[in-house]
Amino acid sequence: MAERLIYLPLGGAGEIGMNAYVYGYGEPGKERLIVVDLGVTFGDMDSAPGIDLIMADVAWLEDNRDRIDAIFITHAHEDHVGALGLLWGKIQKPIHCRRFTGAIARLKMEELGQPVDQIHIHAPRPEVISAGPFEVQFVPVSHSIPESSALVIDTPAGRIVHTGDFKLDGTPVIGEPFDPILWHEIAHEGQGVKVLTCDSTNIFSTHPGRSEAVLANPLLDFVTSQKQMVVATTFASNIARLRTLAEAGVAAGRKICLLGRAMRRMITVGIETGIIDRFPPVISPEEAAEMPRDKVMLIVTGSQGERRAASAQLSRGRYLGIELKEGDSFLFSSRTIPGNERGVIRIMNQLSEKGVDLFDADDGMYHVSGHANRPDIEAVHELLKPQIVIPMHGEHMHLREHMKLAEARGIPSMVVTNGMMVDLAGDRPRVVDQIDSGRLYLDGSVLIGAMDGVVRDRIRMALNGHALVSVIVDEDDNPLPDAWVELSGLPELGRARVPLASNIESELAEFLERVDDRTARDDDRLEEAVRKITRQVSMEEIGKKPEVTVIISRLAAE
Amino acid sequence: MAERLIYLPLGGAGEIGMNAYVYGYGEPGKERLIVVDLGVTFGDMDSAPGIDLIMADVAWLEDNRDRIDAIFITHAHEDHVGALGLLWGKIQKPIHCRRFTGAIARLKMEELGQPVDQIHIHAPRPEVISAGPFEVQFVPVSHSIPESSALVIDTPAGRIVHTGDFKLDGTPVIGEPFDPILWHEIAHEGQGVKVLTCDSTNIFSTHPGRSEAVLANPLLDFVTSQKQMVVATTFASNIARLRTLAEAGVAAGRKICLLGRAMRRMITVGIETGIIDRFPPVISPEEAAEMPRDKVMLIVTGSQGERRAASAQLSRGRYLGIELKEGDSFLFSSRTIPGNERGVIRIMNQLSEKGVDLFDADDGMYHVSGHANRPDIEAVHELLKPQIVIPMHGEHMHLREHMKLAEARGIPSMVVTNGMMVDLAGDRPRVVDQIDSGRLYLDGSVLIGAMDGVVRDRIRMALNGHALVSVIVDEDDNPLPDAWVELSGLPELGRARVPLASNIESELAEFLERVDDRTARDDDRLEEAVRKITRQVSMEEIGKKPEVTVIISRLAAE
């Protein structure tokens, strides 16, 4: 039977976030496998209330663990490395990455008590890592974090280029510039590129992407023209931006103070690994609070409106001894990720209440994206001349648009979403299987399945409220008529301003006094009848049917 | 004591939505009052899960009902008229509006069983409505719904112009064009304009606003160039857009089908009141389903991603016999209101999965705003030459920016947010009181206060899960050791894969067997101890502390 060249996304294909991709090569069902990236995404009240982190369900990898040879991590962003510590125990294979990524990966493993000696640090191409039938090279790409890499994956069936996150930036401030000669080389070695698995994030942005370096002057002008304290926020992991911002602040004669644990950690790791040179010296929050306001620039976490991050704290009041005032300036040097608008706007309005002047990146002056735009993606198609293009790192609409772009250029392509297994050995992708993929939720300290019902029950309680009914049945199977009702998240009073709980209790008493023996003896029947009455009374009184939990306690004969 | 001219926003000042403004004139504390608009806003999972509608708390109006002379409604959008039926019973004063607004107001009153004879229909200026010390005229403004009006409110202390929602549109497709001569007249009668209370929605949009009429050609080109079924969505109440869209469809040789109750209702009311003439004939969904796909254009509700509206239904599958397919086109002829992105994106991706091509209004080709932009607002300041500008209809940052704009032009201004009572009788606004303002939630059929704790409890259950414990205490005040625990929205298994509920029950049994008499006899103490143990065990087992409800049942001596 012919060998297959498998591509199987478990996360990141049909969403932006929680990247997790699998490649395989070998006889059908016996392919040797490698995993590329194990990232997280974040929950929200609409779909995952109370959930700390979301990641790909890797049950299929766990079931096929003996076929896996290695894990590769392209770069140190949370959506690529954030689940490493949480999921490694299910895979238990060596981890390969570059030095800076390795430092962050190490923290992820340590936090979860996983063995850090599983992390292997590699130099970029020309170093080659062998993993089963795969020969893998890390190839520097420009992005917004140091040592971002594409993977060149050579297999007996041909060469795969997995771009990871990238942009075409010749002057990226941090990290290696995009090097077209290097990529030309990669495209023209051997048989050339069989498959390009390519970032689709910005496929709808029609102008060519801009370099991080174009921000330096506008940011310097901005900081220089502010009269009081200047605060700027961006992603903690956007190390390029942190340096651009800090250098603008220093050039404008200000001291730099970093607020936010994630941001300080990134910079510390960057300096320790020797990746970040030339980062301006920073002062502590205590020192910043003592300085004249026009001599300080804060660079802070929370650009996406996160409630506990520094931006939100500063918008609410004093934070680490620093309080924003009338005439201070606050810059969002970031794009708001769709879905985070409410949180960002909340912060903006709270800052406005303090008299702080707001600046955002809407006109593009103070922010550039870390991802390739449509013309850049086209340029990469042209440069690499792949036989097949597989769009990745995008929601369905991004993947589909990218597929259409490739096909319009005559390159076979396919929208491959999480759980679809395609064989790339032939001239065009061919679907060969559909894996039960899904999501795992980190809830407190426990990993639960997205479909376990936990989150469904939370959403239902949030939408409908929760009525609790306790019924006691005596030794002779006679329910005591005085059931007890407690309401959570429900109006106390119903129509005519009578307490809803008393109303339900009265109706239940009437029912329990007359209940037939068959129902009284059967927990399921009794529970169902009690639930039904509770919901009916609620509907009449308050116009909605709550979730109902019934606890039936049967007294044992003594 | 000098008479005061009072302005008191109860809703809409510090948010976009749920407009409710109060003006007063007279001796301090005895001012005669009028109410302008009673609108709603919509809840979301983040802040108001399960809540159907949100509106201003009008307790202050209820307390001062005998001082109120009338209610004026500027136009028929939900954020201006949506709470009329729900709140009228607390105010019980005559309602004044124009004909189309009156037709919608009538529906709002009927739905809640309120007396529709309280609605008084008026012609626009020069008709004058007397209400206590106020002489009020409805003055046509261009917006996106018929008969939108500003109010010219003459008082013994001078003339107030309350703009309502407006834009400067000479060719608004529906409704009256903006008439600078009329406004020049208003500005130059008598003492001129003392106070301009002005829409701030688009204060951050720096280009002059564009007319609805500019959309006709791009929309015709769009519809003409599509090969299969065309679907367009916009606000149901944007009657101007509905006509622009429908006319583009008809001109492109297609039949028009409206999907969505709210949209059909708006058009029906428009036609019945004679406000909408020339609306193209529409076909039913059944007819649309039978037509060739390239001969149909659907205009549908749900532009904001609402889960139950037509857009969402069509994105999920067959709806009223119509199913979208590969090659169909879907246009969002609307702006996504911040906070609604997730829902809109969900629909876009579901449509993408069906192979539907997506078009949005991001480049401005297919949408114009219904509100005045910054240069338009400046033009109105210039035209009306008010002595004072009060920014309204905006979040805090909009109001503040508008205030800064006015002050830069030398016009006294102030950010007045919900609950602030200002006196406008002098040369500049003066804060005279702070009212307990707030929000009311419609939850099912009940109005509850935002601070009643109902929503707080729902959010807590959604974030933390809910553990229910039933404890039975016998006739001699001895708790039975077998407490019963039910979990909702919590993982079934904790650490080491042991059921969490059993674990809590064991710990509780150990506690209940040894509990001291004082605790056993006291419900509060017993409950607190049980709650604490439940939370501790949960923390150890699953890393989070749930909400806990304890029901203690005491068996009566028989």
| Interval A300-355: pLDDT, tens | 999 999 999 999 999 999 999 999 999 999 999 999 998 899 999 999 999 999 99
Closest CA to A470 of A418, A521, A526, A414: A526
For chain B, helix, strand, coil in percent to 5 are 35, 25, 40
* The token pair that represents A374 in the structure block: 């449509």
The answer to whether B255 and B297 have CB atoms below 8 angstroms apart is: yes
Ranges of H-type helices in A322-390 = 341-353, 374-384
CB-CB: which of B345, B350, B462 is closest to A338?
Answer: B345
Sequence-distant (≥ 6) Cβ neighbours of residue A18 within 8 angstroms: A11, A12, A39, A40, A41, A54, A55, A56, A79, A83, A439
Residue A539 CB-density burial (10 A; 0-12 exposed, 13-18 middle, 19+ buried): middle
Closest CA to B153 of B139, B137, B140, B141: B137
Q: How far is CA B389 from the centre of its chain?
A: 25
Tell me, yes or no, if A339 comes closer than 8 A to chain B by beta carbon.
Answer: yes
Closest CA to B5 of B384, B189, B387, B22: B22
d(CA B345, CA B305): 8
- In this prediction, what percent of chain A has a pLDDT beyond 90? 93
Give buried/exposed letters for A356-369 (b at 16+ CB in 10 A, else e).
Answer: bbbbbbeeebbbbb
Residues in a beta bridge with A32: A25
List chain B residues with CB under 8 Å of A342. 44, 46, 338-339
What confidence score (pLDDT) does residue B497 get? 84
What confidence score (pLDDT) does residue B557 get? 64
* Cα–Cα distance list, A449 to A30, A455, B344, B493, B541 (Å): 27, 9, 26, 12, 17
pLDDT band at A557 (very low <50, low <70, confident <90, very high): low
d(CA B118, CA B82): 16
d(CA A302, CA A334): 10
d(CA A156, CA A552): 64
- CATH architecture entry for B4-207+372-449: 4-Layer Sandwich (3.60)
The answer to whether B485 and B534 have CB atoms below 8 angstroms apart is: yes
Domain with CATH 3.60.15.10 in chain A: 4-207+372-449
DSSP output for A94-156: -EEE-HHHHHHHHHHHHHTT--GGGEEE--STT--EEETTEEEEEEE-B-SSTT-EEEEEEET
CA distance B459 to chain A (A): 6
Helix H or strand E encompassing B542? helix B523-542
Residue A349 CB-density burial (10 A; 0-12 exposed, 13-18 middle, 19+ buried): buried
* The token pair that represents A88 in the structure block: 């490694």
Tell me, yes or no, if B44 comes closer than 8 A to chain A by beta carbon.
Answer: yes
Over the stretch A377-399, which tens digit does the pLDDT of each residue have?
A: 999 999 999 999 999 999 999 99
The answer to whether B370 and B165 have CB atoms below 8 angstroms apart is: yes
| Cβ within 8 Å, pair B544-A445 | yes
Domain with CATH 3.40.50.10710 in chain A: 212-359
Tell me, yes or no, if B475 comes closer than 8 A to chain A by beta carbon.
Answer: no
CA distance B139 to chain A (A): 32
d(CA B273, CA B294): 33
Maximum Cα–Cα distance across chain B: 87
Query: What CA dihedral angle connects B495, B501, B505 and B511, to 10 degrees?
Result: 60
Question: Does A514 score more than 80 pLDDT?
Answer: yes
**Could you give phi then psi for residue A306, rounded to 5 degrees?**
-55, 130
Dihedral of alpha carbons A68, A73, A79, A85, sign: positive
Q: What is the CATH number of domain A465-554?
A: 3.10.20
The answer to whether B280 and B244 have CB atoms below 8 angstroms apart is: no
CB-CB: which of A464, A543, A553 is closest to B472?
Answer: A553
Ranges of H-type helices in A465-522 = 500-514, 517-521
pLDDT band at A1 (very low <50, low <70, confident <90, very high): low
CA distance A352 to chain B (A): 5
DSSP character for A496? Answer: G
Over the stretch A53-91, which tens digit does the pLDDT of each residue have?
A: 999 999 999 999 999 999 999 999 999 999 999 999 999
Give buried/exposed letters for A493-510 (b at 16+ CB in 10 A, else e).
Answer: bbeeeeebbebbbebbee
**Could you give phi then psi for residue B71, rounded to 5 degrees?**
-115, 130
CB-CB: which of A348, A461, A543 is closest to B461?
Answer: A461
What confidence score (pLDDT) does residue B420 get? 98
Which regions of A400-495 does DSSP assign to beta strands (E)? 420-423, 430-434, 439-443, 446-449, 466-473, 484-488
Tell me, yes or no, if A546 comes closer than 8 A to chain B by beta carbon.
Answer: no
* The token pair that represents A151 in the structure block: 């993977």
CA distance B262 to chain A (A): 22
* The token pair that represents A16 in the structure block: 């932006």
**Could you give phi then psi for residue A331, rounded to 5 degrees?**
-110, 125
DSSP character for A478? Answer: P
Per the prediction, chain A carries an average pLDDT of 96
Over the stretch A110-168, which tens digit does the pLDDT of each residue have?
A: 999 999 999 999 999 999 999 999 999 999 999 999 999 999 999 999 999 999 999 99
**Could you give phi then psi for residue B91, rounded to 5 degrees?**
-115, -45
- Amino acid letter, B183: W
| Cβ within 8 Å, pair A462-B49 | yes
Domain with CATH 3.10.20 in chain B: 465-554
d(CA A476, CA B392): 68
* Cα–Cα distance list, B9 to B12, B60, B61, B72, B437 (Å): 7, 11, 11, 14, 9
CA distance B462 to chain A (A): 4
Dihedral of alpha carbons B323, B329, B335, B337, sign: positive
pLDDT band at A277 (very low <50, low <70, confident <90, very high): confident
What confidence score (pLDDT) does residue B363 get? 79
* The token pair that represents B85 in the structure block: 């039926």
Which regions of B346-490 does DSSP assign to beta strands (E)? 357-359, 388-392, 394-395, 420-423, 430-434, 439-443, 446-449, 466-473, 484-488
Give buried/exposed letters for B409-419 (b at 16+ CB in 10 A, else e).
Answer: eebbbbbbbbb
The answer to whether B531 and B550 have CB atoms below 8 angstroms apart is: yes
Question: Does A415 score more than 90 pLDDT?
Answer: yes
**Could you give phi then psi for residue B154, rounded to 5 degrees?**
-90, 130
| Cβ within 8 Å, pair A491-B44 | no
What confidence score (pLDDT) does residue B275 get? 85
What confidence score (pLDDT) does residue A142 get? 95
Nearest CA in chain B to A345: B338
List chain A residues with CB under 8 Å of B548. none
What confidence score (pLDDT) does residue A137 get? 98
CA distance A151 to chain B (A): 28
d(CA A422, CA A4): 9
CA end-to-end span of chain A, whole Å? Answer: 71
* The token pair that represents B506 in the structure block: 């064991």
List chain B residues with CB under 8 Å of A338. 341-342, 345
Closest CA to B508 of B478, B543, B482: B482
| Cβ within 8 Å, pair B468-A551 | yes
ipTM over 0.90: yes
d(CA A315, CA A300): 12
CATH number 3.90.700.10 is the correct assignment for the domain at B212-359: no
Tell me, yes or no, if A383 comes closer than 8 A to chain B by beta carbon.
Answer: no
The answer to whether B173 and B213 have CB atoms below 8 angstroms apart is: yes
Query: Which residues of chain B are modeled with pLDDT < 50?
Result: none
